[in-house]
Structure 1
Amino acid sequence: MASPASAASFAALLRAEGVTVVEVGNWETHNRNSKGPWGPVHGVMIHHTVTKGTAATVKICRDGHSNLPGPLCHGVVAKDGRVHLVGYGRANHAGLGDPDVLRAVIDERPAPVDNEATVDGNRHFYGFECENLGDGKDPWPEAQLLAIEKVAAAICRHHGWSERSVIGHLEWQPGKVDPRGFTMDAMRARVTARLARGTSAPKPSTPKPAPKPARPVVDLSKLIAAAKSNPATKGTPVTYAGVRTVEAALVDAGLLAKKYGDGHYGTTTVTAYAAWQKRCGYNGKAADGIPGRASLERLGAKYGFDVVA
């Protein structure tokens, strides 16, 4: 004998199966428990609504109508695959059904053809109403079928049931045709496969390492122009921002005092760069402190920037 899951557990187990859950109003306490017990529970029952439009469908399944007070199910499976929880506890969805079918569900074996209606199904089944006209023409989108599969599997997984605990209203009560548009055997096959795979809830992923920052890029022609302008003081506007990158590399190379890394390619930076050129093996006019491509690329390769012409 299985006691119903708590309302909080019910919502959680659906979400753990990958269901998109929409909680409607006071669904956790909206029920018909005053009219009779709910539980022990033995299975999941699937219905179609004979309605059109999600908002209207959810409303009628929550509130019911003059001849049948709500809630009319526990969850409404919309066309888009979202499951709207409208009540929890005893709900007016199953009505009276066949005791032989109930016994087959409890024993988890194929159900016989229903031919009588003498057992209270509202007490023993979780119920899901599925938005569909029930005329055999209204389509069942894959998102909706997948949601039905997930809610049924989630409840079976929670209680340790097999797919044989999932039935349609048409298998419970003589004269009922719902759900119409797919077979319960096909849906049970989907539930079987899902239970075999395990929960579809996404596993926590290992955080991806933060991407490495992009390397600075120094334009050789702009750098040379800045070097030849030879600003006299720190107050002179910086002519090219890439100068700071090169000066930072010269500081790291031990050729320029940090205080001169100000973005001005003045005489101190010229002297420092000339020292770098000599370190690269250049002499005379080839080590005049005005950058050349080869020496600049070597500086960038060692101190973390790229060079473009």
Structure 2
Amino acid sequence: MATPLSADRLLQALRAEGLRVVEHRSWRTNNRNHKGPWGPVEGVMIHHTVTSGAQATVDLCYNGHSALPGPLCHGVIDKTGTVHLVGYGRTNHAGLGDDDVLRAVMAEGTRPADNEANTDGNRYFWGFECVNLGDGEDPWPAAQLLAIERASAAVIRAQGWRSARRAIGHAEWQPGKIDPRGFTMDAMRGRIATRLGTSAPAPLPAPQAPVVDLSRLITAARTDPARSGTPVTYTGVRTVEAALIDAGLLAKVYGDGHYGSSTVAAYAKWQRSKAGGSYTGAAADGIPGRASLDRLAKRAGFKVVA
């Protein structure tokens, strides 16, 4: 376990790794520490933003929005390879993830597939949001990939860790997530290891796609309580909510595993969208059907069973 680097030490480590770093506003005191503990830190998490434009993304990650207050990460890595520091301390970037993954990161060992969302990742991970649409088509410039490599290595080195396995993608932490999309974390860990002067870790087994049971999902949509903190009827709801969040239809704060009114409304938007099938009327009521769920599954990378 490691005490988080001080803000000054973080800045020094990033610049020592050859990065161009821009400090934004009061980033050193911009945090969510009043919502929970920050640290011990155990790793570095990489995300894509689903946005374009450096300044607009930096502003969003510094401020957050009405449904998810900022900061949304510690640093934004733009397409030129510049690292923009926007927060220090607890930030809203990782959300709930798998405790087995956390233990594997701490042990710098083989990571299991993430299949639970039971652990507060905002406490344990440094987070870098990387400007990319996340559609598999938006390019990752060489300068940006180099900056991701350097930023990850800088934190790993400065925190006194030994292995590139301290760096993970959001998709490796939280079921239903797909980021970063467009390069593999195995390849990035190889680059980080080379920079650290260590052996590249063996590629990890490809994670199995999450499975969503349509009948159980429909039951949850019709019976789940509306608020968090009450029992969740089916954990596959989180996978669907994560897909709706990535599609820009559901605010992250509502990705709580409850198929309540906000998720119903978001799924109805998906049904009405062209990508979701252009349904109208009763066919767009927010209760999943096989065709619309298959379309969402194809976009987000999960499997549907009856």
TM-score (norm. length: structure 2): 0.64
Partner of 1:173: 174
Is 1:15 matched up with 2:19? no
Is 1:137 matched up with 2:137? yes
Q: Secondary structure at the match of 2:46?
A: strand
Q: Secondary structure at the match of 2:122?
A: coil
Q: Secondary structure at the match of 1:122?
A: helix
Partner of 1:96: 96
Q: CA deviation at 1:72?
A: 0.2
Match runs of 1:245-284 below 5 Å: none
Partner of 2:263: none
* Aligned equivalents of 1:160, 1:104: Cα separation in 2: 17
* Aligned equivalents of 1:23, 1:159: Cα separation in 2: 21
Partner of 1:60: 60
CA deviations 1:139-196 (Å, max 9, x no partner) are 0000000000000000111122210100000000000000000000000000000000
TM-score (norm. length: structure 1): 0.63
* Aligned equivalents of 1:191, 1:146: Cα separation in 2: 9
* Aligned equivalents of 2:92, 2:189: Cα separation in 1: 23
CA deviations 1:207-260 (Å, max 9, x no partner) are xxxxxxxxxxxxxxxxxxxxxxxxxxxxxxxxxxxxxxxxxxxxxxxxxxxxxx
CA deviations 1:86-127 (Å, max 9, x no partner) are 000000000000000000000001211000000000000000
Q: Secondary structure at the match of 1:126?
A: strand
CA deviations 1:256-307 (Å, max 9, x no partner) are xxxxxxxxxxxxxxxxxxxxxxxxxxxxxxxxxxxxxxxxxxxxxxxxxxxx
Q: CA deviation at 1:43?
A: 0.1
Structure 1 stretches of 4+ moved >4 Å: none
Where structure 1 has 5 or more consecutive residues not aligned to the other structure, the ranges are 198-309
Over the aligned positions, Cα root-mean-square deviation in angstroms equals 0.7
* Aligned equivalents of 1:119, 1:7: Cα separation in 2: 25
* Aligned equivalents of 2:102, 2:46: Cα separation in 1: 15
Give the partner amino acid of 1:73.
C
Partner of 1:123: 123
Partner of 1:186: 187
Give the partner amino acid of 2:187.
A
Q: Secondary structure at the match of 1:154?
A: helix
Partner of 2:49: 49
Where structure 2 has 5 or more consecutive residues not aligned to the other structure, the ranges are 199-306
* Aligned equivalents of 1:111, 1:24: Cα separation in 2: 34
Q: Secondary structure at the match of 2:197?
A: helix
Q: CA deviation at 1:58?
A: 0.4
* Aligned equivalents of 2:30, 2:65: Cα separation in 1: 15
Match runs of 1:109-120 below 5 Å: 109-120=109-120
Q: Secondary structure at the match of 1:167?
A: strand
Partner of 2:30: 30
Question: Looking at CA atoms only, which structure, 1 or 2, has the larger radius of gyration?
Answer: 1
Q: Secondary structure at the match of 1:136?
A: coil
Give the partner amino acid of 1:22.
V
Partner of 2:76: 76
* Aligned equivalents of 1:52, 1:166: Cα separation in 2: 24
Percent identity over the alignment? Answer: 69
* Aligned equivalents of 1:61, 1:100: Cα separation in 2: 28
Q: Secondary structure at the match of 2:51?
A: coil
CA deviations 1:26-85 (Å, max 9, x no partner) are 001100000011000000000000001001110101111111100000000000000000
Partner of 1:164: 165
* Aligned equivalents of 2:28, 2:152: Cα separation in 1: 19
* Aligned equivalents of 1:117, 1:84: Cα separation in 2: 29
Q: Secondary structure at the match of 2:123?
A: coil
Q: Secondary structure at the match of 2:84?
A: strand
Partner of 2:218: none
Give the partner amino acid of 1:168.
G
* Aligned equivalents of 1:107, 1:172: Cα separation in 2: 15
